[in-house]
Amino acid sequence: MTKIFKYLASHWAACLAVFALLVVQAYGDLTLPDYTSKIVDVGIQQGGVADAVPDAMRDSTLQALELLMSEEDAAMVEACYLSAGSGQATAVGKTVAEKANAEVRLLDRDADRNALADAFAVPEVALYMAAAQQAGEDGAPGAKELDGVAAALTAMAAAPGFDRATLTEHLSQAMSQVDDSTMATLSGQAALLVQLEYAALGVDGMVQMRYLLTVGGRMLLLTLVMVAAAILVGLLASRVAASIARDLRQQVFRRVVSFSSAETDRFSTASLITRTTNDIQQVQMVCVILLRMVAYAPILGLGGIFHVAQSDTNLTWIIALAVALLLLLIVVLMELAMPKFKIMQKLVDRLNLVSREILTGIMPIRAFSRERHEEARFDAANRDLMSTQLYTNRVMAAMSPFMTMIMNGVSLLIVWFGGKQMDLGNLQVGELIAFITYTMQIVMSFLMLAMVAVMLPRAGVAADRIDEVLKTEPSIRDPQPAKAVSSGSWKGEVAFHHVSFRYPGSDEAALTDIDFTAKPGQTTAIIGATGCGKSTLLHLITRFYDVSEGSVTVDGVDVRDLPQQTLHSLLGYVPQKGVLFSGTIDSNLKFGGEEISDEDARKAARIAQAAEFIETKPEGYQSPIAQGGSNVSGGQKQRLSIARAVACNPKIYLFDDSFSALDYKTDVALRRALKEETGNATVVIVAQRISTVLHANQILVLDDGRIVGKGTHAQLMQSCPEYQEIARSQLSNKELGLKGGEC
């Protein structure tokens, strides 16, 4: 996982922007339940009255309330309520003044609402209770009862011997005897009194609608901000993940291209393809999830816990229980799924390997009627992967019902115990709804983390496999510092100095004590039985592998001291199996470099005896070449490969059994044209046919990785039994120029 975070760290600016946007989104998610609670508790149940401070009230009601306050509080209240014509009133107060018919007093918009709420709380409760008592048990108090109580208080104040201090003291003593639960219920009656006053003024519906529209508008605006933040988070997360995947593909591709044959054989082509595609896709997907879910879940969960802790509902133990159950579930599921995730990518490698072998070998499979066998082999690899994926998917699927059960159980517990709290007056409906919402947010945060926790192991394995490729240093590397050699001084003389070589991981030597010189202007041919090391010898010249002992030199310079680009610019290499690339004939002929002109390409095609079949095609040199050259014959593919090497005009030509698919006539014509073109170049030919090497200046006979014969055809026919055996197996005595079977 540290590797994935390292990839994300390279895009730290975008990640910080995503984090900031997630904070905005989480703020909206955590604020909306509060607004919902306000709409239910204040907007619906309390008619839009948010606190005990009325924005407007009739003078009679204000006077009655002041009688129930201390003189200091009454003076403060009197100073804060202005006449209806004042321009300093609150917005609600001004609206009330316009609609109300009675004489009203308006709250100063600069007044301290908290201080006023403390001053109004007890008098409003007392006034509401008195109005409710007048209404009786069967009715709710209204404006009539409120006016009656206010008139009674005013009359009491006008009576001789009235003492405000005594009245307020008795009221305070009465309230001090009330327990906290009852007081919490009574405190809501202060807002009910304000609601009664608004009803008496005939503006209760307007106040409620104004509150609902205000809070609803804030909720809508906040939702739009959240939507914008979520869209930007998705955009940035996708761009960051796509950029990481792009960079990884480039890095892996560059590393793989620099690999020698040893590293390619170590990983296998199928595994490298899987690592470049499927593994990087896994990393890309998990990077998106990390930015969108993993970073968001803790913010949302911690915010939800903070809000729940602030609510003082005595129900937090339910959340602790839910979190404990979720953690237990996650641990159990991870223990079941982790081992399977570690082997899943290897099974993907295996499936790709089998698929590639079957697709590339479809012709021999059909020729030997092995379709059923290969189908069974593919089915076995496919079923192994399927069974592993089914197991992990079933484990993940099992999470859903357990999560649903936990969430529903938590909701049931909250409603059950929350209902009891509501009966006691400690909780309102809106607060209960908000608590349920916060609890679900906390649970969902752990759910998101659980889902990611199941996906992370596979992505971690994929990241390790990618990192394994990136950290693998190629065994064939350019020298540091490179030896300076003038580009115009190359002649092309190739020399092997007592070279021995063994393949990586092999105990037996493929070549032993190879010592010869291939000079410019001459043709050196290499012949021998299959598996004797002919192609391996050419691979040492090209530095596909490095020698185990001895050295290979070009013009006296060890190839290991040359930059690979410099070395390869001197070589025209034609592999044993012709390889063409998708494109056109012209693009394949010019594959050696942009400096190759049209004339160079056409000249090379004529030398390679390819011009005839090219010019018969309707599109000529612009004729399309399918992937791997599947739309041309084997002989045509070989001739195009030879022409591609000739077009580079190299100093050294390396032909690895490159004439095997040509008929004798084409072979002779091609070698004759090649001789004229390569007069000053070094030519090294690996061949199976005697006719191909018959006129070479120097023939090397290999047997079991050793040179057992060296010389011209005539010399070898006199001195080398192995060469004689090969020659007699292919040519008659007359063709060999022998009499009576003598050497």
Report the residue count for the chain. 743
Q: What is the pLDDT of residue 612?
A: 85
Nearest 5°: CA angle at 403, between 399 and 408? 155
Render pLDDT for 52-72 as a digit per residue (tens, 0 to 9): 888 888 888 888 888 888 888
Per CATH, domain 489-570+651-743 is 3.40.50.300: yes
What's the whole-number mean pLDDT along residues 522-534? 88
Fold of 2-31+215-471: ABC transporter transmembrane region fold (1.20.1560)
pLDDT at 310 over 80: no
Crossing angle (nearest 10°) for helices 204-258 and 91-99: 150
Stated as kind and residue range, the H or E segment containing 97 is helix 91-99
H-helix segments, 136-203: 143-158, 164-176, 180-201
pLDDT band per the 50, 70, 90 thresholds, residue 740: very low
Q: Which range has highest mean pLDDT (1-15, 243-257, 459-473)?
A: 243-257
Three-state DSSP at 491 gives coil
Residue by residue, DSSP assigns 293-361 as IITHHHHHHHHHHHHHHHH--S-HHHHHHHHHHHHHHHHHHHHHHHHHHHHHHHHHHHHHHHHHHHHHT
Q: What is the pLDDT of residue 737?
A: 60
Between 435-439, 640-644, 720-724, the lowest mean confidence (pLDDT) is in 435-439
Q: What is the pLDDT of residue 96?
A: 72
What's the per-residue H, E or C state across 61-94? Answer: HHHHHHHCCCHHHHHHHHHHEEECCCCCECHHHH
Kindly state the tokens that stand for 643.
């022409």
Residue by residue, DSSP assigns 461-488 as HHHHHHHHHHH---SS---SSPPP--TT
Stated as kind and residue range, the H or E segment containing 20 is helix 12-38
What's the whole-number mean pLDDT along residues 567-572? 89
Compute the distance between CA of residue 281 and CA of residue 242 in angstroms, rounded to an integer.
9
pLDDT at 181 over 70: no
pLDDT band per the 50, 70, 90 thresholds, residue 742: very low
pLDDT at 631 over 90: no
Render pLDDT for 197-244 as a digit per residue (tens, 0 to 9): 888 888 878 888 888 999 999 999 999 999 999 999 999 999 999 999
What's the whole-number mean pLDDT along residues 414-424? 77
CATH classification code of 571-649: 3.40.50.300
Q: What are phi and psi of 518, to 5 degrees?
A: -105, 115
> What is the percent of the chain where pLDDT is above 90?
14
Q: What is the pLDDT of residue 17?
A: 93
Q: What is the mean pLDDT of the chain?
A: 83
pLDDT band per the 50, 70, 90 thresholds, residue 176: low
Render pLDDT for 318-371 as a digit per residue (tens, 0 to 9): 877 887 887 787 778 777 777 777 687 678 878 888 888 888 788 788 888 888
What's the whole-number mean pLDDT along residues 11-21? 91
Fold identical between 489-570+651-743 and 571-649?
yes
Q: What is the pLDDT of residue 139?
A: 63
Q: What is the pLDDT of residue 484?
A: 57
Parse the chain into domains and list their residue ranges.
2-31+215-471, 46-202, 489-570+651-743, 571-649
**β-pairing verdict for 511-518 and 494-501:** antiparallel
Q: Comparing C-alpha atoms, which of 98, 97, 66 is closest to residue 80?
A: 66
Between 226-235, 258-267, 463-472, 534-543, the lowest mean confidence (pLDDT) is in 258-267
Q: What is the pLDDT of residue 233?
A: 93
Q: What is the pLDDT of residue 549?
A: 92
pLDDT at 26 over 50: yes
